[in-house]
Amino acid sequence: MKFKSQSKKLESPCLSSRQSLTPLLLLLLSCINLFPSVTIAGSWNLEETLKEYVKNVYPWPEIIISDIIVKGDIPDIKPKKIIVQKGLPGRTVFLLEFDSSETLSVTANVKAFDNVISVKRAFKKGYILQKDDLYTLLMDVQRIPAGALKDVKSIIGKSINRSIFANTPITAGMLTNSCTVKKGKKVVLLVEGENFRISTTGEIKESGSIGDYVKALNVASKKVISGLLVDENTVKVEL
């Protein structure tokens, strides 16, 4: 990745083995792509410093920084403070402040990605979503729809109020709360594994909506267990 500077272009080593190389040799190696061009001053890397700052301030799991333009000379020491003047994500202007009272303006393109919950296949209006229907999708934050959900538990057991295509991120506006199952209702307690399926009669001990975790009485053993209310007649007990 190449960084541009409005004052001058800096080609410096990112590995300790480069520190003994002359500037002219570094330039020649960069031209023939033996060393990728990076911007380093002293022992710190500008791109990595900006990425670390963004990750510490914003809850995005993945950041890509490119097309860096530096206005001025880069000091040998890392900045004591970084300020976002505009942008983020997208074309962003950073102001770097140093102990020497120097400041440095840096412009870069910042792409940020976040996790949202999406559906594996298409579903028709009224379908009640289950855990196996969903997966986590890493998506550019500038393309994430408003109200997109990140918690699977907030989606399971709720019906969709419109038909949706496969790989569509789920938003709060797509969901309708399911009916409430009242305390005392007889249900099936279901335990499933890779090669087995066991069911018995249970009784709901607290009211809850489909998709909630509720307490239920195992009528046979008289033990109270907790499970997922997958529909109005079934509580799935997880191993």
Over the chain (239 residues), what is each successive 10-residue block's mean pLDDT? 45 43 50 43 83 92 95 90 93 94 94 96 90 94 93 86 94 82 91 87 88 88 89 85
Residue 170 CA, distance from chain mean position: 14
- pLDDT of 140 reads 96
- pLDDT of 7 reads 43
Print the domain residue range for 109: 4-113
- Residue 191, domain CATH: 2.30.30.760
Indicate if 144 and 158 belong to the same structural domain. yes
Strands, E, within 40-102: which ranges? Answer: 40-41, 44-45, 62-71, 81-86, 90-97
Helix (H) or strand (E) run with residue 26 in it? helix 23-31
Indicate if 154 and 184 belong to the same structural domain. no
- pLDDT of 201 reads 94
- Contact predicate 123/154, CB 8 Å: no
Whole-prediction pTM value?
0.59
Indicate if 57 and 108 belong to the same structural domain. yes
Indicate if 93 and 39 belong to the same structural domain. yes
* DSSP classification of residue 101: S
Angle, CA 15 vertex, CA 13 and CA 21 arms, to 5°? 50
Indicate if 223 and 123 belong to the same structural domain. no
Indicate if 38 and 99 belong to the same structural domain. yes
- pLDDT of 29 reads 46
Last residue of one domain, picked from the residues 176, 208, 225? 176
Report the C-alpha gap between 31 and 100 in whole angstroms: 34
- Structurally, the chain folds into a number of domains equal to 3
- pLDDT of 136 reads 95
- Contact predicate 49/25, CB 8 Å: no
Is the bond preceding residue 89 a cis peptide, omega within 30 degrees? yes
- 3-state DSSP assignment of residue 107: strand
Indicate if 109 and 8 belong to the same structural domain. yes
Buried b (16+ CB within 10 A) or exposed e, 82-102: bebeeebbeebbbebebeeee
- pLDDT of 230 reads 80
- pLDDT of 192 reads 86
pLDDT in tens, 88-143: 999 999 999 999 889 999 999 999 999 999 999 999 988 888 889 999 999 999 99
Indicate if 142 and 215 belong to the same structural domain. no
- pLDDT of 19 reads 45
